[in-house]
């Protein structure tokens, strides 16, 4: 089976000489939900920007290769790569810039050439999936933060991506919005990768976790095993919130 994501020896240094990635190998298969964990400055964002070709060995000092469902990330494939890889950025205000929720969700598919009724259907389907269909004609900046985060997810779903990449999906959400987003993400029929510091959220949603530290993958396995490996956790500045112990959670309630 062709992996959705295939990274081989991806290394990258920014133009100022700062080396962010030192040879990352990673395979993600269809239908998987993977959490990308790591301390601040581990290179997580740099890695995410490689997945849809915003950064690449062509754009900086890098090596290695990225392929999405077998299609290599190169300049001539960029539009198709960006359709296949949907990235939801951390700040919804960066992602929502049109005058209405509908226009914002339509932005991506319209760039892919969709028009008319097909475009409308795509937009409403995506909004339906995140439970925001009733807000289609509202200006995004009048919505609550949790609603804006959900619309941001819809903007990417509307492109019917093969993999959804979320940067810190639970940040700045109140507990109810956080849970609602988890329900939405669990219900999506799409491969998912989320970059997060919210370890209980990773355990709740993702059967598999990858730990990135200092630009290298230092662990890749079951989220439960990684979160309970105290030596690994402390070696890479990962800490569970106070009072949270994965071992006290019943196995049946864990995903996968």
Q: Which is nearer to other proteins, 87 or 202 (CB)?
A: 87
Does residue 200 bind other proteins (CB under 8 A)?
Answer: no
Distance CA 20, CA 219 (A): 17
Return the residue of 13, 41, 91, 179 that touches other proteins, per CB under 8 A: 91
Does residue 139 bind other proteins (CB under 8 A)?
Answer: yes
At 34, phi and psi to the nearest 5? -120, 135
Q: Which residues are 21's β-sheet partners?
A: 12
Does residue 156 bind other proteins (CB under 8 A)?
Answer: yes
Does residue 155 bind other proteins (CB under 8 A)?
Answer: yes
How many residues touch other proteins under the rule CB under 8 A: the total is 33
Contacts of 122 (CB under 8 A, 6+ apart): 106, 109, 114, 158, 160
Return the residue of 50, 83, 149, 150 that touches other proteins, per CB under 8 A: 83
Does residue 77 bind other proteins (CB under 8 A)?
Answer: no
Q: Which is nearer to other proteins, 11 or 110 (CB)?
A: 110
Distance CA 167, CA 1 (A): 27
Binding mask 47-66 for other proteins (x = CB under 8 A): --x--x-x------------
Q: Which is nearer to other proteins, 22 or 145 (CB)?
A: 145
Distance CA 184, CA 139 (A): 22
Task: Give Dmax over CA atoms of the chain in angstroms.
Answer: 56
Return the residue of 128, 134, 137, 239 that touches other proteins, per CB under 8 A: 137
Supply angle C-alpha 104, 109, 112, rounded to 5. 135
Does residue 89 bind other proteins (CB under 8 A)?
Answer: yes
Interface region with other proteins, contact rule CB under 8 A, candidates 10-18, 58-66, 155-163, 239-247: 155-163
Residue 6 near residue 43 (C-beta atoms within 8 A) = no
Interface region with other proteins, contact rule CB under 8 A, candidates 57-65, 141-149, 191-199, 230-238: 141-149
Assigned token pair, 220:
């890749």
Return the residue of 13, 98, 240, 249 that touches other proteins, per CB under 8 A: 98
**Cα 150 from chain centroid (whole Å):** 13
Give burial (CB, 10 Å; 0-12/13-18/19+) of 90.
middle
Residue 56 near residue 66 (C-beta atoms within 8 A) = yes
**Cα 183 from chain centroid (whole Å):** 16
Binding mask 9-48 for other proteins (x = CB under 8 A): ----------------------------------------
Which residues bind to other proteins, rule: CB under 8 A?
49, 52, 54, 79, 82-83, 86-87, 89, 91, 93-95, 97-100, 103, 106-108, 110-112, 119, 137, 139, 141-142, 145, 155-156, 159
């Amino acid at each position: 089976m062709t992996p959705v994501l295939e990274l081989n020896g991806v290394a990258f240094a920014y133009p100022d000489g700062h080396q962010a990635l030192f040879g990352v190998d990673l395979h993600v298969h269809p239908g998987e939900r993977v959490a990308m964990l790591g301390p601040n400055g581990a290179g997580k964002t740099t890695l995410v920007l490689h997945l849809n070709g915003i950064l690449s060995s062509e754009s900086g000092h890098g090596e290695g290769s990225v392929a999405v469902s077998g299609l290599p990330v190169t300049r001539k494939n960029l539009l198709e790569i960006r359709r296949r890889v949907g990235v939801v950025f951390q700040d919804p205000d960066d992602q929502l810039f049109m005058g209405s929720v509908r226009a914002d969700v339509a932005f991506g598919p319209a760039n892919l050439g969709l028009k008319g009724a097909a475009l409308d259907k795509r937009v409403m389907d995506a909004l339906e999936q995140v439970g925001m269909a009733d807000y289609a004609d509202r200006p995004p900046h009048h919505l609550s933060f949790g609603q804006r985060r959900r619309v941001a997810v819809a903007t990417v779903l509307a492109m019917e991506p093969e993999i959804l990449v979320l940067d810190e999906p639970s940040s700045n959400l109140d507990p109810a919005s956080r849970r609602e987003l988890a329900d939405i993400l669990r219900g999506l029929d799409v491969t998912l990768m989320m970059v997060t510091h919210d370890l209980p959220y990773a355990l709740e949603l993702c059967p598999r976790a990858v730990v990135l530290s200092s630009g290298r993958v230092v662990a890749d396995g079951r989220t439960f095993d990684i979160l309970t490996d105290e030596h690994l956790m402390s070696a890479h500045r990962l800490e569970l919130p106070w009072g949270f112990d994965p071992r006290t959670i019943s196995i049946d309630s864990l995903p996968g």
